[in-house]
Amino acid sequence: MLKKFLLVIITVFLVGSLTAPIVTGDNLDNRIGIGLGNPYISIKYGLSSKFSIEGRGAFGSGIFVGGARLYYNFNPEYRAVIFVGGEGDYVSFNVDDMEGFGFVAYGFLGGEYFITKRLTFNLDIGQAYIFLKENESALDEEGLEWVFNLGINYYFK
Amino acid sequence: MLKRKDTMKNKKIGLLITFSIIVSLLVPSLRGAVIHFGVIRAIEEKIDKLREKKDPYRNLPDISTFRSQKSDRFIADIGDIARGHPYKGRRANLPHQGAHIHFDSTQWPKGGGDPDNYPAIYACVDGVVSKLDYSFRYGDKNQYYIDIAFARDSAGSVYYLHHSIEPMIAEPSENFYRQFVLVSLGQEVRKGDVMAYMYTPLVAGSACHICFHIKRIDKEGFMAPALFTLPVVQGYHDRWSGDGFDGADDIPPCMGYKLEADENPFGTGAVDILW
């Protein structure tokens, strides 16, 4: 179900990125936005029309993930902007019987759709390398996982 | 104007090609993959795996389950058994804290010399390999054994079934017994899995046997391996031959005979017969 949904969304983005007219008249250069997603909060800044950086914090039950992202935008002048990027995060967890830390390295492909000049809908999918270590036992767990993110951004400028 | 149009057209074509390549790479690797909705979900899954590593026995059933839900898979194929006897408790005339399954090593292997031409040793319950030794050494002799953790109790004790390949005889060559063991430490096994093959050098003759009993991890004391359905116990009993006696007393079909209370894994006290 999730995969079908993903396929439809990606198709819409691809079509939008090629055919939609310019509606914002802006690109992502020097713009600051705040984001909300599944579940994360973020603040994003356009370094140039092609590159953006973002700070992110994600929260779960007893889990905190904090890190930064770098985006490369293929077509910033379009309504549907396609991007690739990388993310690095620090993880800490304290759940029931276990406490520990770790990190995530995530490479992704995604898109950002300008609903209005300031409000965007965005998604990305990619593979995350996750490493976790439990404090008490010193046991660790690592591996690659597919991750899919959805969210909205609000740009101040 | 025309030049700008051409540039835009080229850009679109470039984008299309780029994403065709990316999607064609993504789609095959996504086939059958689990996609986590958000990084938190992916981390939660990793934490679950970490938890399993830390306590691999957390999902084992309560030992009381095996009072009513018995296994129809015996440790060996009944037809392979040459003789045997149940666990004989401390109240027996001749106590022996392990049930025995004997094989006639002069009759094996059947076919070539490969391990799978020897009698199979099965997991009779679902569980986790909690301990094993491919070549446990005692003096100048060796043996292999496998422990399968299969249950716990309300106090947190973990119960395991110990399978000891006996008698201890020096290996013909270093690590020779290793080839007869198919499982590894920490591996999950399912009822019916072949865990190993029964091998002892020919010199063992009909003394070649599996000694098995229940124990608790980090606790003293042996318990009767009363894990099997009555038809299985009956079939096992039919193969006991002359070993099914306690002195002069003929032992009826059971897995535990004349048990003290602490030899009964189900905590139902001292019993004469437990199956």
Residue A140: in which H helix or E strand, if any? strand A140-155
In chain B, what are the domain boundaries? 2-54, 69-274
The chain B residue lying nearest A128, using CA atoms, is: B39
Element (H, E) at A59: strand A51-60
CB A144 within 8 A of CB A136: no
Domain covering B69-274 assigned CATH 2.70.70.10 in the classification: yes
Q: Which of A125, A128, A139 is opposite residue B42, by nearest beta carbon? A: A128
Residues of A in contact with B22 (CB under 8 A): 84, 109
Say what the ipTM of the complex is: 0.86
Can you give the pLDDT at residue B25?
Answer: 59
Assigned token pair, A136: 């008490």
What separation in angstroms does the CA of B196 have from each of A143, B11, B32, B106, B118? 31, 63, 32, 19, 9
- For chain A, give the mean pLDDT: 87
Q: Are the Cβ atoms of A146 and B33 closer than 8 angstroms?
A: yes
Closest residue in B to A40 (Cα) is B38
∠ CA A33-A22-A150, rounded to 5°: 40
By the 8 A CB rule, do B238 and B172 touch?
A: no
B20 to each of A59, B6, B69, B72, B268, how far by Cα in Å? Answer: 34, 21, 55, 55, 68
Residue B166 bridge partners (DSSP): B209
Phi (first) and psi of residue B178, to 5 degrees: -55, -40
Question: What pTM does this model have?
Answer: 0.68
- Inter-chain contact B36–A145, Cβ cutoff 8 Å? yes
Tens of pLDDT along B214-270?
Answer: 999 989 999 999 999 999 999 999 999 989 999 999 999 999 999 999 999 999 999
Q: Is the peptide bond before B201 cis (omega within 30 degrees of 0)?
A: no
Considering only the top CATH level, what class is A2-20+32-155?
A: mainly beta
Residue boundaries of the structural domains of chain A: 2-20+32-155
Q: Which two tokens stand for residue B141?
A: 């002799």
Percent of chain A with pLDDT over 90: 64
Cβ atoms B35, B125 nearer than 8 A: no
